[in-house]
Amino acid sequence: MARDVAPLEELIEQFERLPGIGHKSAQKLAFYVLNMPEDKLKKFADTLLNSQKLIHRCSVCCDLTDREICSVCSDTKRDPSLICVVENPKDVTAIERTHEYRGTYHVLHGAISPMNGIGPDNITIKELLKRLGDKNVSEIIMATNPTVEGEATAMYISRLIKPFNIKVSRLAYGVPVGADLEYADEVTLAKAIEGRQTM
């Protein structure tokens, strides 16, 4: 391009590096930023800069928090003997939305995926085992994603937990509530039949 807007190119590139942002979107974002009120832009940049300092992992469950121990782990009304193991902080948010679960969590920050070079040491498995050592935990609920990686991770962890003689459960598979049976894939349907409950 015959133009000398190196800093503009730099700005666009920076946006293009973000996940799910193509060149056109990056351009749009760059021009938007250039027209932002200066104070708002400063606020945005500061938020980005401080995010990593302010937001870190809970020393107990590894969920993201700005305190030493997150609100769930420090909530005396939650049952610490029940640990729900999820892949990402987003999953904690999803489960909290149900207002059904009163136990605590453990965030793995990923799933074992040799294809992507993610091994057991790259996720917070040892932090989980450490918790089992200290506290008297009664049950671990495996809530990793129902994907190949999620399954493998759940299996791997459950084997590691065996020696602790702690009950390990897995989220039930089945047809999503409100969904149309004819659109459910055969694997899900088979699982739903397999795990049928007496009425």
Window 13 to 42, contacts with its own copies (CB under 8 A): 14, 17-20, 25, 27-34, 36, 38, 41-42
β-pair partners for 65 = 56
Query: What number of other Cβ atoms are within 10 A of residue 61's Cβ?
Result: 26
**Beta-carbon contacts of residue 78 (< 8 Å; ≥ 6 apart):** 72, 102, 103, 104
Q: Which of 52, 165, 197, 198 binds its own copies (CB under 8 A)?
A: 52
Picking from 157, 153, 189, 186, the residue whose alpha carbon sits closest to that of residue 174 is: 189
Closest separation in Å from C-beta 130 to its own copies:
22
Closest separation in Å from C-beta 154 to its own copies:
22
Picking from 103, 121, 99, the residue whose alpha carbon sits closest to that of residue 61 is: 103
Q: Any contact of residue 167 with its own copies (CB under 8 A)?
A: no
**Residues engaged in binding its own copies (CB under 8 A):** 1-8, 10-11, 14, 17-20, 25, 27-34, 36, 38, 41-52, 54-55, 63-67, 70-72, 75, 88-90, 92-93, 96-97
